[in-house]
């Protein structure tokens, strides 16, 4: 089949399944898809989380407050991908509103359906089928994980790829790429903070936000990363050319060496379901059986237990600040109830934010209020630097910005391995119930992913076969290539 | 009832009462004249773009989601210049930006980037000197902080006919948004209104001299808030003070208002008050003020600077204005304060350049290039009252062009000619100079010019009595000397001050007439003698 007719088939599928699965906030029109295909060489399909700006699509962040907003400019990541021949952007993907959530349920466009437990069929599926257990996709990059996981209903001869897309970009602030990827059984990569430009990416918590890559194929992740891993003058937090160069000089290929792998002793395994632990131990056993390849060590990140409270002090505070610009005056929706009055707080327009977003803005402003600032925000910042330095001491490689004072010794490791989530994707019903009982419970899903976000270090998350459980491989700040190489060795082992 | 009295008081000679001590501190916002804005590449020129709203804006300036601040390092140099000039003891080698949150229509980010926790510089000072700044006694004003921050946009309420649907609509112009500001905060060291006025004038000269700000309140490049209290009671912050006179009047009003409160047993409250042109009006109490929820902006890197950079900036400042003024108003230059300020105001006529020209020329004159004796007052007179005034009047003549036409010696030759006393009169020298400047003559040969045009001076001694009588007769053809004569003949005891004034005035008219009649060739002092002799 020609590229054009394959795209037509795919486009039809996307439009028809989206009503139920809600993967996309906006599917690129067919004419536009076709116009990006210039040659007969193979097509690569991708889509972007709908908090990444593109010239061609509206940007919604799955929020009512951005209704009608057209960015009219390309984020740096979008323009880098556009330049690839025959790479086709299928559209903008659903997410938890402004990236806030871990289930993919907080969206003005509805919750994304996890395609593993409710696979796409050729015929129209029976909505009332009791056999189907509705499970969440994970969030906030819910649509990104789901389309990389969803298998195409098309015949092999008609399909471009066996999934709906080769890859998708998401954003990861505390686990927003890794958790949905784990719950949808696909691979994901959260690079070092500052590696990929955030220009044009809507900030949630700007000191933690990273652009991440999801795919069913690690090779594709690596290829995409190589394209996006560029210094950007438009992003003041972009890693400088000189630091990139210095890391490259010290990141040698360890192919024939034994990779030392750390297990963090402070991760409390007793709170993890037995079934999950069993899967993890089996996997670790498998690694150890490959003689001369991996060695396991226990490492300590003493204060890792503080990660969650640090995160929900800092992230909502930054979010409250970053979302302060939505007043309905220059872009997005403006409430009809808004009247000009002296206090100018734009309360009616800002009521268009969803419940979860409002909750986090309130929490963030509370953490920043002048009486609490020292004891909340400032304290959390100090505790965050302690976690950074404790991670730092674990790795053999030197942190390019904050070199470790601790002497080089045998206890140090190349990478750390840990779980991505503590169970497979929860049932939608249970997830919503738990959320309504205890609003902070949702943060707990990210308990294994948040520490690496605080440290800004690179992580690859790899599913363990079809278990619905994934492991994370993380390395020193800036050593993304090394983490990707070791991830490949681990992934090969699992295949 | 009280408000009226206070205004009245402020307008008629205001005086501090010894039992009530006034204390003020200032917060000055200085708009920096950098090429670009603080965090974007947009043009920084909000005043010139006033008729084209929202023309100098970038995506960052309108706060498009996903855009980020890119720091303009030129602003850091400007800030360091000011910090160095004000002798800040603590220059921060790693200052940082913070976000100050509040909602307002002309604040598109929902926060302002400022330097709350780690400002650029602290602990400076500026000395007010009585001989220069007109204060009663010398006074050191301590500067507590200097910080960089963003300016906001502007909101304008649309005017129009009452049937116009758009009347009252709030229009937002973001040309000024993200323009760099320095916020300077002083300690509460001011004890009189004169000190505040003197400080503002001095500060204005400094920012112009450093070339970091246009330094005018009318265009809003300098804006000042004043903290006022009396006898250390509750602090009141005064805002909306667009001119120096509004600052003066507002402080005076506030002083009287607080005294009135105290005398009625009311201690007052900590609050912010606006000046409405007549009185101060409370806008909000400080204890119910907005919580700005300050937060470090960790997207922006600390502004790392080195000791070496600070030293370079210090070296780039040519001199200290006060020491230069003191040099100019004393021996040997003996300039007036006004003229020495003219030489140092960088904004008008490229001041520093003129200063150099003047000093080299004056030194040549004083120490070598004169005949017999030097008369610095004459040189100052010619330079400031004739040359500079004429340059300003003559179209298309800049000071720089003047320096290409007139060597120092050329000016001094003329001064020396006048100074000999018998070659040319002062009025003819003026005419000659004016002609040479407007014809853009290069280094004119004054002697030749005078001789060829018959402008040489006629001395009193060379005139016969008949010739003097003839001159007087011609004067009286167009001038009635009766009144002059009457006053002149009055017995000394009967002469009043008023008479003398009237006499001088009349005499000057007569001299002016005489100068015209004699083509300026007779010295005005000689003409005076001729007229008086004939009364």
Interface of B with A in 72-101 (CB under 8 A): 99, 101
Closest Cβ opposite residue B70 in set A203, A234, A345? A234
What values do phi and psi take at B523, rounded to 5? Answer: -65, 135
Q: Is residue A343's pLDDT more than 60?
A: no
Cα of A237 to nearest chain B Cα, Å:
6
Q: What is the pLDDT of residue A85?
A: 94
Q: Are residues B435 and B487 in the same domain?
A: no
Determine whether the interchain pair A327/B110 forms a contact, defined as Cβ–Cβ distance below 8 Å: yes
Q: Is residue A344's pLDDT more than 80?
A: no
Neighbour-count burial of A448, counting CB atoms closer than 10 A to its CB (0-12 exposed, 13-18 middle, 19+ buried): buried
Q: What is the pLDDT of residue B5?
A: 52
Residue of A204, A344, A351, A372 to mutate when probing chain B, most B C-beta within 10 A = A344
pLDDT: which is higher, B266 or A170: A170
Q: What is the pLDDT of residue B8?
A: 47
**Distance between CA atoms of residues B33 and B211, nearest Å:** 8
Q: Are residues B350 and B482 in the same domain?
A: no
Cα of B15 to nearest chain A Cα, Å:
38
Residue of B40, B178, B295 to mutate when probing chain A, most A C-beta within 10 A = B295
Pairing of strands B180-186, B222-230: unpaired
| Nearby residues of B39 by Cβ (< 8 Å), 6 or more positions away | B60, B69, B70, B71, B72, B113, B150, B178
Determine whether the interchain pair B68/A235 forms a contact, defined as Cβ–Cβ distance below 8 Å: yes
**Distance between CA atoms of residues B518 and B522, nearest Å:** 7
What values do phi and psi take at A177, rounded to 5? Answer: -100, -40
Centre a 10 Å sphere on the Cβ of residue B265 and count the other Cβ atoms it contains: 6
Q: Is residue B498's pLDDT more than 80?
A: yes
Q: Is residue B374 part of a domain?
A: yes
Would residue B17 be called left, alpha or beta, if left means φ above 0 and alpha means ψ between -120 and 50 degrees?
beta
Q: Are residues B8 and B32 in the same domain?
A: yes
Closest Cβ opposite residue A377 in set B69, B104, B295? B295
Determine whether the interchain pair A369/B291 forms a contact, defined as Cβ–Cβ distance below 8 Å: yes
Q: Are residues B429 and B411 in contact, defined by beta-carbon separation less than 8 angstroms?
A: no
Over range A458-472, report the average pLDDT. 95
Q: Active-site residue numbers of A? A: 49, 140, 176
Q: Are residues B144 and B199 in the same domain?
A: yes
pLDDT, tens digit (0-9, with 9 covering 90-100), for A398-421: 999 988 777 767 789 999 999 999
Over range A71-86, report the average pLDDT. 96
Q: Tokens 């989530």: give the residue.
A: A421
pLDDT: which is higher, B487 or A241: A241
* A74 CB-side CA count, 13 A: 10
Highest mean pLDDT, choosing among A194-203, A326-335, B150-159, B370-379? A194-203
**Distance between CA atoms of residues A375 and A393, nearest Å:** 27
**Distance between CA atoms of residues A355 and A352, nearest Å:** 9
Determine whether the interchain pair B66/A331 forms a contact, defined as Cβ–Cβ distance below 8 Å: no
Q: Is residue B459 part of a domain?
A: no
The helix/strand count (H/E) of chain B reads as 19, 16
Q: Are residues B335 and B289 in the same domain?
A: no
CA distances from A443 to A101, A356, A421, A432 (A): 8, 12, 12, 13
| Nearby residues of B508 by Cβ (< 8 Å), 6 or more positions away | none
pLDDT, tens digit (0-9, with 9 covering 90-100), for B45-82: 988 888 999 999 999 999 999 999 999 999 999 999 99
Chain B environment of A237 (Cβ under 8 Å) = 68, 299
Q: What is the pLDDT of residue B162?
A: 75
Tell me how many residue pairs between chain A and chain B have CB atoms under 8 A apart.
96
pLDDT, tens digit (0-9, with 9 covering 90-100), for B438-466: 999 999 999 988 888 888 888 888 888 88
Q: What is the pLDDT of residue B299?
A: 95
Chain A environment of B172 (Cβ under 8 Å) = 329
Structure tokens at B146: 């200097």
Over range A253-280, report the average pLDDT. 86
**Distance between CA atoms of residues A308 and B119, nearest Å:** 32
Q: According to the CATH classification, is domain A3-243 in 3.90.1300.10?
A: yes
Q: Does B130 touch chain A (CB under 8 A)?
A: no
Q: What is the pLDDT of residue B11?
A: 56
Determine whether the interchain pair B295/A237 forms a contact, defined as Cβ–Cβ distance below 8 Å: no
Last residue of a domain, one of B282, B304, B326: B304
Q: What is the pLDDT of residue A83?
A: 95
Pairing of strands A44-49, A87-93: parallel
Q: What is the pLDDT of residue A342?
A: 52
pLDDT, tens digit (0-9, with 9 covering 90-100), for A41-50: 999 999 999 9
Residue of A321, A357, A378, A380 to mutate when probing chain B, most B C-beta within 10 A = A321
Among candidates A164, A176, A26, which has minimal Cα distance to A92?
A26
**Distance between CA atoms of residues A237 and A247, nearest Å:** 17
Q: Are residues B414 and B478 in the same domain?
A: no
Determine whether the interchain pair A71/B64 forms a contact, defined as Cβ–Cβ distance below 8 Å: yes
Q: Residue B29's domain spans which residues?
A: 2-304
Q: Is residue B253 part of a domain?
A: yes
Domain count, chain B: 3
What values do phi and psi take at A326, rounded to 5? Answer: -85, 90
Q: Does B67 touch chain A (CB under 8 A)?
A: yes
Q: Are residues B439 and B486 in the same domain?
A: no
CA distances from A399 to A211, A296, A323, A403 (A): 21, 22, 32, 5
pLDDT, tens digit (0-9, with 9 covering 90-100), for B88-143: 999 999 999 999 999 999 999 999 999 999 999 999 999 999 999 999 999 999 99
Residue of B293, B300, B304 to mutate when probing chain A, most A C-beta within 10 A = B293
Q: Is residue B457 part of a domain?
A: no
Centre a 10 Å sphere on the Cβ of residue B133 and count the other Cβ atoms it contains: 22
Lowest mean pLDDT among A254-258, B40-44, B63-67, B255-259: A254-258
Q: Is residue B309 part of a domain?
A: no
**Distance between CA atoms of residues B312 and B486, nearest Å:** 71
ipTM (interface pTM): 0.94
**Distance between CA atoms of residues A155 and A162, nearest Å:** 9
| Nearby residues of A215 by Cβ (< 8 Å), 6 or more positions away | A148, A166, A167, A168, A186, A187, A188, A221, A224
Q: Does B110 touch chain A (CB under 8 A)?
A: yes
CA distances from A309 to A272, A316, A356, A361, A362 (A): 19, 11, 18, 16, 16
pLDDT, tens digit (0-9, with 9 covering 90-100), for A433-450: 888 877 777 777 889 999
Over range A353-382, report the average pLDDT. 94
Q: Are residues A431 and A90 in contact, defined by beta-carbon separation less than 8 angstroms?
A: no
**Distance between CA atoms of residues A44 and A81, nearest Å:** 10
Cα of B160 to nearest chain A Cα, Å:
18
Cα of A170 to nearest chain B Cα, Å:
15
Q: What is the DSSP letter of B39?
A: S
Cα of B104 to nearest chain A Cα, Å:
6
Closest Cβ opposite residue A202 in set B65, B104, B292? B65
Q: Does B71 touch chain A (CB under 8 A)?
A: yes
Q: Are residues B128 and B136 in contact, defined by beta-carbon separation less than 8 angstroms?
A: no
CA distances from A61 to A20, A71, A188 (A): 19, 12, 21
Neighbour-count burial of B452, counting CB atoms closer than 10 A to its CB (0-12 exposed, 13-18 middle, 19+ buried): exposed
Q: Are residues B515 and B485 in the same domain?
A: yes
Determine whether the interchain pair B65/A59 forms a contact, defined as Cβ–Cβ distance below 8 Å: yes
Enumerate the domain spans of chain A. Answer: 3-243, 309-374
Q: Tokens 């205890």: give the residue.
A: A438
Q: Which residues of A touch B (CB under 8 A)?
A: 53, 59, 66, 69, 71, 73, 75, 198-203, 206-207, 233-237, 317-318, 320-321, 323-327, 329-331, 340, 344-346, 365, 368-370, 373, 377, 381
Highest mean pLDDT, choosing among A87-91, B211-215, B351-355? A87-91
Q: Does B293 touch chain A (CB under 8 A)?
A: yes
Highest mean pLDDT, choosing among B176-190, B363-377, B457-471, B508-522? B176-190
Q: Tokens 């400042």: give the residue.
A: B317
Quick one: how far is CA A319 from the chain centroid? 17
Q: Does B287 touch chain A (CB under 8 A)?
A: no
Last residue of a domain, one of B404, B423, B452: B452
Q: Are residues B413 and B435 in the same domain?
A: yes
Residue of B54, B59, B63, B66 to mutate when probing chain A, most A C-beta within 10 A = B66
Q: Are residues B437 and B343 in the same domain?
A: yes
Structure tokens at A438: 């205890």
Pairing of strands A87-93, B98-101: unpaired
Q: Are residues B383 and B289 in the same domain?
A: no
Q: Are residues A72 and A55 in contact, defined by beta-carbon separation less than 8 angstroms?
A: yes
Neighbour-count burial of A416, counting CB atoms closer than 10 A to its CB (0-12 exposed, 13-18 middle, 19+ buried): buried
Q: Residue B230: which pLDDT band, with cuts at 50, 70 and 90?
A: very high
**Distance between CA atoms of residues A190 and A461, nearest Å:** 8
Q: What is the pLDDT of residue A367?
A: 93
**Distance between CA atoms of residues A109 and A62, nearest Å:** 6
Over range A457-485, report the average pLDDT. 96
Q: Are residues B266 and B351 in the same domain?
A: no
3-state per-residue secondary structure call for chain A: CCHHHHHHHHHHHHHHHHHHHCCEEEECCHHHHHHHCCCCCCCEEEEEECCECCCCCCCCCCCHHHCCCCCCCCCHHHHHHHCCCCEEEEEEECCCHHHCCCCCCCCCCCCCECCCCCCCCCCCCCCCCCCCCCEECCCCCHHHHHHHHCECCCCCCCCCCCECCCEEEEEECCCCCHHHHHHCCCEEEECCCCCCCCCCECCCCCCCCEEEEEECCHHHHHHHHHHHCCCCCCCCCCCCHHHHHHHHHHCCCCCCCCEEEEEECCCCHHHCCHHHHHHHHHHHHHHHHCCCCEEEEEECCCCHHHHHHHHHHHHHHHHHHHHHHCCCCCCCCCCCCCCCCCCCCCHHHHCCCCHHHHHHHHHHHHHHCCCCCHHHHHHHHHHHHHHHHHHHHHECCCCCCCCCCCCCCCCCECEEEEECCCCCCCEHHHHHHHHHHCCCHHHHCCCCCHHHHHHCCCEEEEECCCCCCEEEEECCCCCHHHHHHHHHHHHHHHC
Q: Are residues A414 and A302 in contact, defined by beta-carbon separation less than 8 angstroms?
A: no
Over range B230-248, report the average pLDDT. 92
Q: Is residue B414 part of a domain?
A: yes
Q: What is the pLDDT of residue B348?
A: 52
Q: What is the pLDDT of residue B289?
A: 67
| Nearby residues of B291 by Cβ (< 8 Å), 6 or more positions away | A369, A370
Q: What is the pLDDT of residue A289?
A: 87
Q: Residue B1: which pLDDT band, with cuts at 50, 70 and 90?
A: very low
| H or E segment and range at residue B124 | strand B121-128
Among candidates B419, B423, B405, B517, which has minimal Cα distance to B470?
B517
Among candidates A88, A142, A92, which has minimal Cα distance to A115?
A142
Q: What is the pLDDT of residue B351?
A: 61
Task: Measure the CA dihedral B520/B523/B529/B535, to 10°.
Answer: 10
**Distance between CA atoms of residues A178 and A483, nearest Å:** 15
Q: What is the pLDDT of residue A128?
A: 53
pLDDT, tens digit (0-9, with 9 covering 90-100), for B322-358: 999 999 999 899 999 999 988 887 655 566 788 999 9
Chain B environment of A202 (Cβ under 8 Å) = 65-66
Q: Does B302 touch chain A (CB under 8 A)?
A: no
Chain B environment of A325 (Cβ under 8 Å) = 63, 65, 108-110
Q: What is the pLDDT of residue B288?
A: 62
Cα of A64 to nearest chain B Cα, Å:
15
Scanning every residue of chain A, which has its alpha carbon at the shortest distance from the alpha carbon of B300?
A236
């Amino acid at each position: 089949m020609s590229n054009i007719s394959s795209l037509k088939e795919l486009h039809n599928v996307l439009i028809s399944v989206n009503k139920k699965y809600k993967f996309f906030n906006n599917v690129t029109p067919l004419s536009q898809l076709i116009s990006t295909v210039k040659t007969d060489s193979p097509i690569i399909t991708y889509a972007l989380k709908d908090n990444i700006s593109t010239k061609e699509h509206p940007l919604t962040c799955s929020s009512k407050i951005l209704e009608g907003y057209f960015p009219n400019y390309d984020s740096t990541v979008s323009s880098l991908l556009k330049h690839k021949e025959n790479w086709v952007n299928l559209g903008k993907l659903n997410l938890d509103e402004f990236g806030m959530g871990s289930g993919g349920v907080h969206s003005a466009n509805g919750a994304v359906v996890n395609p593993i437990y409710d696979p796409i069929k050729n015929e129209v599926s029976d909505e009332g089928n009791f056999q189907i257990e509705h499970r969440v996709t994970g969030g906030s990059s819910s649509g990104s994980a789901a389309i990389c996981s969803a298998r195409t209903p098309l015949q092999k001869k008609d399909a471009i790829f066996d999934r709906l897309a080769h890859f998708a970009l998401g954003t990861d602030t505390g686990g927003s790429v890794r958790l949905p990827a784990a719950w949808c059984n696909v691979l994901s990569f959260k690079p070092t903070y500052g590696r990929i430009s955030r220009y044009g990416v809507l900030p949630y918590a700007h000191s933690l936000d990273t652009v991440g890559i999801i795919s069913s194929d690690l090779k594709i992740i690596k290829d995409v990363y190589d394209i996006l891993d560029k210094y950007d003058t438009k992003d003041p937090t972009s890693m400088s050319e000189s630091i990139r160069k210095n890391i490259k000089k010290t990141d040698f290929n360890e192919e024939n060496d034994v990779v030392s792998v750390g297990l963090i002793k402070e991760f409390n395994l007793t709170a993890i379901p037995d079934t999950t632990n069993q899967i993890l131990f089996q996997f670790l056993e498998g690694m150890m059986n490959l003689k001369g390849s991996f060695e396991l060590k226990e490492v300590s990140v003493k204060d890792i237990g503080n990660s969650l409270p640090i995160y929900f002090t800092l992230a909502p505070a930054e979010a409250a600040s970053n979302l302060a610009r939505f007043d309905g005056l220059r872009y997005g929706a403006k409430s009809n109830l808004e009247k000009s009055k002296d206090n100018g707080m734009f309360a009616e327009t800002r009521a268009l934010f969803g419940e979860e977003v409002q909750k986090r803005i309130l929490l963030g402003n509370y953490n920043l209020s002048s009486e609490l600032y020292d004891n909340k925000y400032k304290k959390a910042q100090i505790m965050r630097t302690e976690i950074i330095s404790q991670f730092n001491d674990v790795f053999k490689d030197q942190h390019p910005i904050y070199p470790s004072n601790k002497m080089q010794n045998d206890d140090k490791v190349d990478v750390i391995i840990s779980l991505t989530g503590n169970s497979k994707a929860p049932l939608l019903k249970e997830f919503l119930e738990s959320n309504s009982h205890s609003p902070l419970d949702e943060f707990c899903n990210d308990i294994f992913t948040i520490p690496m976000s605080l440290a800004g270090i690179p992580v690859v998350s790899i599913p363990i076969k079809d278990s619905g459980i994934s492991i994370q491989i993380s390395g020193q700040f800036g050593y993304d290539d090394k983490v990707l190489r070791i991830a490949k060795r681990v992934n090969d082992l699992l295949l | 009832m009280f408000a009226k009295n206070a205004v009245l008081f402020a307008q008629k000679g205001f005086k501090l009462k010894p039992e009530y001590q006034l204390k003020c501190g200032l917060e000055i916002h200085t708009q920096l004249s950098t090429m670009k804005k603080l965090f974007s590449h947009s043009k920084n020129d909000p005043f010139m773009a006033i008729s084209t709203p929202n023309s100098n804006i970038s995506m960052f300036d309108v706060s498009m989601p996903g855009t980020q601040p890119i720091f303009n390092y030129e602003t850091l140099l400007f800030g360091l210049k000011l910090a160095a000039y004000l002798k800040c003891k603590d220059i921060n080698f790693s200052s940082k930006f913070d976000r100050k949150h509040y909602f307002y229509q002309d604040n598109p980010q929902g926060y302002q980037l400022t330097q709350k926790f780690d400002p650029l510089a602290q602990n400076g000072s500026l000395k007010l000197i009585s001989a220069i700044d007109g204060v009663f006694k010398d006074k050191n004003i301590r500067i507590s902080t200097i910080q960089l921050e963003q300016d906001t946009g502007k909101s304008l309420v649309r005017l129009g006919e009452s049937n116009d649907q758009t009347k009252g609509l709030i229009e937002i112009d973001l040309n000024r948004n993200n323009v760099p500001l320095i916020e300077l905060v002083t300690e509460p060291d001011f004890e009189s209104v004169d000190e505040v006025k003197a400080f503002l004038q001095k500060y204005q000269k400094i920012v112009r001299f450093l070339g970091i700000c246009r330094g005018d309140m009318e265009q809003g490049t300098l804006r000042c808030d004043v903290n006022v209290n009396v006898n250390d009671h509750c602090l009141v912050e005064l805002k909306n003070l667009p001119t120096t006179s509004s600052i003066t009047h507002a402080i005076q009003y506030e002083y009287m208002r607080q005294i009135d409160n105290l005398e009625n047993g009311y201690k007052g409250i900590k609050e912010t008050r606006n000046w409405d042109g007549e009185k101060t009006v409370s806008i909000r109490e400080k204890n119910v003020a907005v919580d700005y929820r300050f937060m470090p902006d960790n997207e922006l890197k600390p502004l790392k600077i080195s000791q070496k950079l600070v030293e370079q900036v210090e070296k780039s400042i040519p001199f200290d204005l006060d020491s230069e003024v003191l040099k100019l108003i004393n021996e040997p230059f003996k300039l007036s304060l006004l003229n020495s300020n003219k030489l140092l105001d960088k904004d008008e006529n490229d001041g520093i350049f003129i200063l150099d020209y003047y000093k080299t020329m004056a030194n040549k004159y004083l120490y070598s290039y004169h005949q017999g004796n030097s008369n610095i007052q004459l040189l100052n007179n010619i330079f400031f009252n004739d040359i500079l005034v004429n340059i300003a009047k003559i179209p298309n003549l800049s000071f720089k062009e003047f320096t290409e036409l007139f060597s120092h010696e050329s000016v001094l030759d003329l001064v020396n000619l006048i100074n000999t006393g018998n070659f040319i009169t002062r009025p003819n020298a003026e005419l000659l100079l004016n002609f040479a400047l407007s014809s853009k003559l290069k280094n004119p040969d004054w002697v030749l010019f005078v001789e060829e045009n018959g402008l040489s001076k006629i001395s009193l001694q060379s005139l016969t009595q008949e010739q003097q009588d003839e001159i007087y007769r011609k004067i009286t053809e167009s001038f009635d000397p009766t009144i002059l004569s009457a006053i002149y003949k009055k017995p000394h005891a009967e002469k009043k001050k008023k008479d003398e004034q009237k006499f001088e005035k009349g005499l000057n008219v007569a001299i002016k007439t005489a100068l015209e009649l004699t083509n300026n060739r007779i010295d005005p002092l000689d003409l005076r003698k001729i007229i008086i002799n004939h009364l």
